[in-house]
Amino acid sequence: MAQTIGSMFKDGQQYMLTWPVEKQLTTLFAENRVIAATKLSIKVMPPLAVLSVAAIVNFQGMEQLPQALAVGAFFLTLPMQGLLWLGHRANQVLPPALSAWYFEIHHKMQIQGCALQNPQAKPKYMELAGLLKTAFNELDKAFTKRWF
């Protein structure tokens, strides 16, 4: 099923909010690095785009306006690239090894008494993010330390 660009942005934002940014997950998944870079670029790139356009036009004149706008547009697209990557990743089906790990964690959390939704037959990264967030929020550090 094909996704639209708008739904990928929306899914990327939701995935960024859902994924638990924990140091234990940094070595296992790229999400922590992408989320940190995306959050930074959301804050930094719009002012940097305006500053770069103003600097190019100020120092090189109005005849360089098309190039200045291209540089500004490039800076503005960087946060969007991070959101698109996160949106695409959120809707990918887990590979078999991660899927087995997902079901193992889900089973152990049910044994511990966590209120969880029924596991999906083919879980996606979004479901893994929700499960890991619940694990880090509801379970103690000693229990989650054994998984990582």
Residue whose pair of structure tokens reads 């694990």 in the numeric block? 135
pLDDT higher than threshold 70 for residue 2:
no
Of residues 68, 84, 75, the one with CA closest to residue 46: 75
* pLDDT tens-place string over residues 104-142: 988 888 887 777 888 888 999 999 999 999 888 877 665
Of residues 58, 56, 123, the one with CA closest to residue 95: 123
Confidence of residue 3 (pLDDT cuts 50, 70, 90): confident
pLDDT score of 120: 81
pLDDT score of 144: 58
* pLDDT tens-place string over residues 61-115: 999 999 999 999 999 999 999 999 999 999 999 999 999 999 998 888 888 777 7
Of residues 138, 116, 140, the one with CA closest to residue 128: 116
> CB-based burial of residue 21 (10 Å sphere; 0-12 exposed, 13-18 middle, 19+ buried)?
middle
pLDDT score of 143: 57
Reported pTM:
0.85
The letter for the amino acid at 4 is T
User: Is 110 in contact with 135 (CB distance < 8 Å)?
Assistant: no
Residue 55 and residue 84: Cα distance in Å, rounded? 29
The token duo for 104 is 């193992």
Query: Where do the domains of the chain lie?
Result: 1-91, 93-148
Identify the bridge partners of residue 67 per DSSP, sorted by sequence position. Answer: none
pLDDT score of 146: 61
Other Cβ atoms within 10 Å of 82 Cβ, number: 21
pLDDT score of 130: 93
